A and B are shown apart, each in its own frame.
Chain A
Amino acid sequence: MPRWAMVIDLDKCVACQACSIACRQENNTPAVSPERAAEGRAIRWNDVIRADLNNPEAEGAYPNVKPRYVPRPCMHCSNPACVKVCPVQATYRDEDGLVRVNYNRCIGCRFCTVACPYGVRYFNWEAPSWDPEMAQHLNPDFVSEGGSLEGPAVRPKGVVEKCTFCIHRLRKAQARASLENRPFRADEYVPACVETCTARARFFGDLSDPESTVSKLASSGRAFRLQEEAGTHPNVIYLREG
């Protein structure tokens, strides 16, 4: 069983937000107007946020300013706060350790969005909409297992969604391996944000394999995780900025 994990090197990240755009195209999250975004209605599975979100003084005063940015996907925690509170098991942790959301079952109570200490879960306040041209180029992929609906499938209004570590790419890679009659290898798939990262700051792989890149980076002295005191054991590992 692989244990999927992502490593983000903050020393390399230039905060270009290419990961956010790649994620948006890959996973069909609609763009909203700035007014709507100010109301808190924007959906950004992969967001690049300021490290000192609510404390601008921490970035320093002119001329000694040092803004710090943190790319923030879902942490796919080993002890996820969201899964524990879901009343209908619409969000759950699968055997690969991915925290998933079934859009067909979510009742929209928003308990998980309130419980997540990372704020990575998003609610569909209204039905998604795209510019006509954009709407013709949506990603047709989706994941459906036993009546569920997951992945980039267009979400109806009133349900919760979040980063899936591009589970549809994982399923494709697994299907390819099985068609070719060979075992699936953990390095056969990466999420869209990792593929697109301009600074090569993101790494993806299997944390249960001690020889994998993520395992080696995770043992670096610079490695840390967000909100470790929350006890959620996230599987997104950051490398501290020097």
Chain B
Amino acid sequence: MLKVDPQDKARLIDPLFKAGPSFWLTAAALGGVLAWGVKMYLRQMDLGLVTTGMGRPAYWGIYIVNFIFLIGVSMAGTVVTAVLQLTGVNWRRPITRIAEATTVAGLLVAGVQIMVDMGRPDRLLSLLVYGRLQSPLLWDVASLTLYLLVSMFALYISLIPDLGIVRDNLPQHVPGWRRLLYTSLALGWRGNREQWLRLQRLVRIVSILAIPTGVSLHTVTAWILSTTLQPGWHSTILAPYFVVGAIFSGIALLFILVTIVRQISGVRFYIDERHYRKLGWLFITMSLVWLYFTYTEHLTMLAGQDAVEWPVLASKLWGADAPLFWAMLALMLLAILVLTLPVLLPARLERARFFRPRVTAASATSAGVAFTLVGLPQVLPVAAGLGITNLRPGLLLAALALTVTAAISALAWLKAHVEAHIVIASVAVVAGMWLERWNIIIPTLTHPRMIAWASYTPTATEWSLTAASFALFMLLMLIFFKLFPAVSLWEVEEGRVVDTAQSRLEIPLPPQSSTSIGSYPAMPRR
């Protein structure tokens, strides 16, 4: 019989066996979206891809955008966990399970995108039978399969001790199939020394394997694009750019999922503000690296003005693709500012009366009113009556100034609410990274060399299948966390043991010599 801390049992094991109406409602809603998607997919299979907005030259569309986005967000889970595990970072323990589950669910749904995009899904197995290893698509198939297997394995082996704990601590009335589930999946885990040593070694090996396979997956996905000659894709920087964007968006999605899991279960006790702060530093770093890569990528195109590349960039900067391009940049800049500015706010200023939520609310409302007035089609009667010709530019300036005021006055609140400001940034980054994938795929396809330029708009079928894909992702996560603890029980327990052991067995530094050294204040001895 494996024992468990009663607190952990109450917070992590018992909720697995209680499904309230909100759980069933969420599951039913997600299932409904999924069922609608299946219906639309069957229709697409019947009529062909003519039901989508794709055509010549936009041969690929939103399915490939979703594919690359999902591969990106799922890369971070296992890779970041593995890095933290190998470097012995202790605060990782409560978030590893959520991160690894994100990876597996994301990769499964990414695979679905490929199925949905294929003209002949019935010939999927030809990829194995006739597969040409020279084709970048085969590299992606191999890499995706490998990373999925490694991630599933990583998730499973770190579940084994927890499965043993759950098996031995089941509540009174449990359906037989769940008892069987935990008993069989635990593989006879008894938690003896031999088993622990094997598990630790396996976790290490899998972590080491996960990093190169994860990086390779996003690298070869970028190579699918960059090995072609298409304008805007044929770039050496694309693979590292994809990897950076993948980790960036993956951390953002991880923050969102951790926050959701915290809100609806007893996990709040295990993951707190400090986790957000620690992982937040990695998030800020990745955001700046992403910005750097984006700038580099576009600067070279802008400076070169190659005959075939320039139309793609021009379309992004001020052509048909401009709204989504600038929306992406605005979201990313918002995220970067929300992440960095609160950290930079000096503590002395926080007390100032200016940094109050009511100042933010007031200036934001005024800015909204001012923007509405600017946007009104006619000159205001008042303005006409007064003969003020510069009212509209003045209003616009006032509106912008009020917006900046609202943003600055919100800084102290954002600084005090770490979770809130990171979640705001994360939502912006997830949306922005999806748009980034769009802005890489679509403008290039719609501006080819020898086909008349065109535009691409997804149809209802494509939006339905996109919604269904994300519903499937959420449903997989929901079911997973209803069956298995959202926080790794054994890793938390191990962390506690490590903490206690470290406090006892601290390696003392050589004692200070008797003569005092200069102006250093004497350190208090612990």
Binding site for B on A (CB under 8 A): 39-42, 49, 53-54, 72, 81, 84-90, 105-111, 113-115, 117-119, 122-127, 156-160, 226-227, 230
Query: Across the interface, do A107 and B124 meet the contact criterion of CB distance under 8 Å?
Result: yes
Among B119, B131, B447, point to the contact of A88 (Cβ < 8 A).
Answer: B131
Q: Which of B45-53, B388-396, B505-513 contacts A (4 or more CB under 8 A)?
A: B45-53
- The chain B residue sitting closest to A120, CB to CB, is B450
Among B58, B120, B227, point to the contact of A40 (Cβ < 8 A).
Answer: B58
Query: Across the interface, do B227 and A108 meet the contact criterion of CB distance under 8 Å?
Result: no
Q: A40-B454, A81-B229, A87-B135 are in contact. Are A110 and B50 (CB under 8 A)?
A: no
Contacts of A40 in B (CB 8 A): 54-58, 454
Which residues of B, 129-166, contact A by the 8 Å Cβ criterion? 130-132, 134-138, 141
Which residues of B, 433-461, contact A by the 8 Å Cβ criterion? 445, 447-454
Tell me the complex Cα distance, A226–B229, Å: 14
Query: Across the interface, do A49 and B450 meet the contact criterion of CB distance under 8 Å?
Result: yes
Among A84, A114, A124, A230, point to the contact of B119 (Cβ < 8 A).
Answer: A124
For the complex formed, measure the closest distance between the CB of A233 and the CB atoms of chain B, giving whole angstroms. 13
Tell me the complex Cα distance, A115–B57, Å: 11
- The chain B residue sitting closest to A111, CB to CB, is B137
Contacts of B134 in A (CB 8 A): 84
For the complex formed, measure the closest distance between the CB of B122 and the CB atoms of chain A, giving whole angstroms. 9
A-B contact pairs, 16 of them (CB 8 A): A84-B134, A85-B136, A85-B137, A86-B132, A87-B127, A87-B132, A88-B123, A107-B118, A109-B117, A109-B118, A110-B60, A111-B224, A119-B451, A125-B54, A125-B55, A157-B48
Query: Across the interface, do B59 and A85 meet the contact criterion of CB distance under 8 Å?
Result: no
Tell me the complex Cα distance, A107–B447, Å: 25
Q: Is B432 an interface residue (CB 8 A)?
A: no
Contacts of B227 in A (CB 8 A): 85
Q: Is B516 an interface residue (CB 8 A)?
A: no
Contacts of A85 in B (CB 8 A): 135-137, 227-228
Q: Is B230 an interface residue (CB 8 A)?
A: yes
Query: Across the interface, do A158 and B132 meet the contact criterion of CB distance under 8 Å?
Result: no
Contacts of A113 in B (CB 8 A): 56, 59
Contacts of A109 in B (CB 8 A): 117-119, 137
A-B contact count (CB 8 A): 133
For the complex formed, measure the closest distance between the CB of A119 and the CB atoms of chain B, giving whole angstroms. 4
For the complex formed, measure the closest distance between the CB of B66 and the CB atoms of chain A, giving whole angstroms. 15
Query: Across the interface, do A41 and B56 meet the contact criterion of CB distance under 8 Å?
Result: yes
For the complex formed, measure the closest distance between the CB of B58 and the CB atoms of chain A, giving whole angstroms. 7
Query: Across the interface, do B59 and A123 meet the contact criterion of CB distance under 8 Å?
Result: yes
Among B58, B137, B228, B454, point to the contact of A87 (Cβ < 8 A).
Answer: B137
Among B47, B56, B57, B119, point to the contact of A107 (Cβ < 8 A).
Answer: B119
Binding site for A on B (CB under 8 A): 47-50, 54-60, 117-120, 123-124, 126-127, 130-132, 134-138, 141, 224, 227-230, 311, 445, 447-454
Contacts of A160 in B (CB 8 A): 119
Tell me the complex Cα distance, A118–B449, Å: 7
Tell me the complex Cα distance, A72–B141, Å: 34
- The chain B residue sitting closest to A92, CB to CB, is B132
Contacts of A158 in B (CB 8 A): 48-49, 118-120
Query: Across the interface, do B127 and A107 meet the contact criterion of CB distance under 8 Å?
Result: yes
Query: Across the interface, do B136 and A119 meet the contact criterion of CB distance under 8 Å?
Result: no
Contacts of B138 in A (CB 8 A): 87
Contacts of B49 in A (CB 8 A): 108, 123, 125-126, 158
Contacts of B48 in A (CB 8 A): 124-127, 157-158
For the complex formed, measure the closest distance between the CB of B43 and the CB atoms of chain A, giving whole angstroms. 12
Tell me the complex Cα distance, A89–B123, Å: 13
Contacts of A122 in B (CB 8 A): 56
For the complex formed, measure the closest distance between the CB of A41 and the CB atoms of chain B, giving whole angstroms. 6
Among A108, A119, A127, point to the contact of B120 (Cβ < 8 A).
Answer: A108
Query: Across the interface, do B135 and A117 meet the contact criterion of CB distance under 8 Å?
Result: no
Contacts of A114 in B (CB 8 A): 59-60, 228, 230, 445
Contacts of B224 in A (CB 8 A): 111
**10 nearest CB pairs, A to B:** A108-B119, A40-B55, A158-B119, A40-B56, A126-B50, A119-B451, A87-B137, A126-B48, A157-B48, A125-B50
Tell me the complex Cα distance, A126–B137, Å: 24
Q: A113-B59, A126-B48, A230-B229 are in contact. Are A107 and B135 (CB under 8 A)?
A: no
Tell me the complex Cα distance, A226–B308, Å: 14
Most A CB contacts (10 A, CB to CB) among B119, B136, B138 go to B119
Query: Across the interface, do B126 and A88 meet the contact criterion of CB distance under 8 Å?
Result: yes
Contacts of B57 in A (CB 8 A): 40, 119
Tell me the complex Cα distance, A175–B433, Å: 58
- The chain A residue sitting closest to B231, CB to CB, is A117
Tell me the complex Cα distance, A81–B448, Å: 14
- The chain A residue sitting closest to B55, CB to CB, is A40
Most A CB contacts (10 A, CB to CB) among B48, B124, B134, B445 go to B48
Among B132, B445, B450, B454, point to the contact of A89 (Cβ < 8 A).
Answer: B132
Tell me the complex Cα distance, A85–B124, Å: 16
